Amino acid sequence: MTIYDIAFNDEHDMYLSGRDIAFTGDSDTVVQRLKIRLQFLLEEWFLDNTAGLPYTQFILEQGASIEDIYTIFRDETKNTEGVFNIIFLVLTPTPDDKGLRVDFSVNDGVSTGTVEVSV
């Protein structure tokens, strides 16, 4: 097994296997990288405030172009290390919590996986 990244659980904390830090495997690495990238807010990280997606600045703003929003997500997904191509990408507004649900499937060269990310 090739070790790529430290594994995180659903609460975004480091995952422990027994008393050891767990690491991701081949296809889990791409899924984890995508989840992190798609939930990373623009200006969130003080060391590089240009990193991240413009959720509050553009994506969740009233009147934002759906074509532009899809382009932002497609580009961010395609530019993730390990992603060969996008099979599908569906964005669904969640009015109850003023958020966005992202469903997508990508091919990483090892497998094809479907992932849901809520922001």
Say yes or no to pLDDT of 1 above 70.
no
Instruction: Tell me how far apart the alpha carbons of residues 103 and 110 are, in angstroms, rounded to a whole number.
Output: 20
pTM above 0.85, yes or no: no
- For residue 104, give the 3-state DSSP assignment: strand
For the chain, strand residue ranges (E) read 16-17, 20-21, 85-94, 99-107, 112-118
Task: Please tell us whether the domain made up of 26-118 is placed in CATH 3.40.630.30.
Answer: no
pLDDT in tens, 6-51: 888 878 788 888 888 888 877 788 888 888 888 888 988 889 989 9
Rounded to the nearest 5 percent, the helix, strand and coil shares of the chain are: 25, 30, 45
pLDDT at residue 77 greater than cutoff 70: yes
Between 36 and 2, residue with greater pLDDT = 36
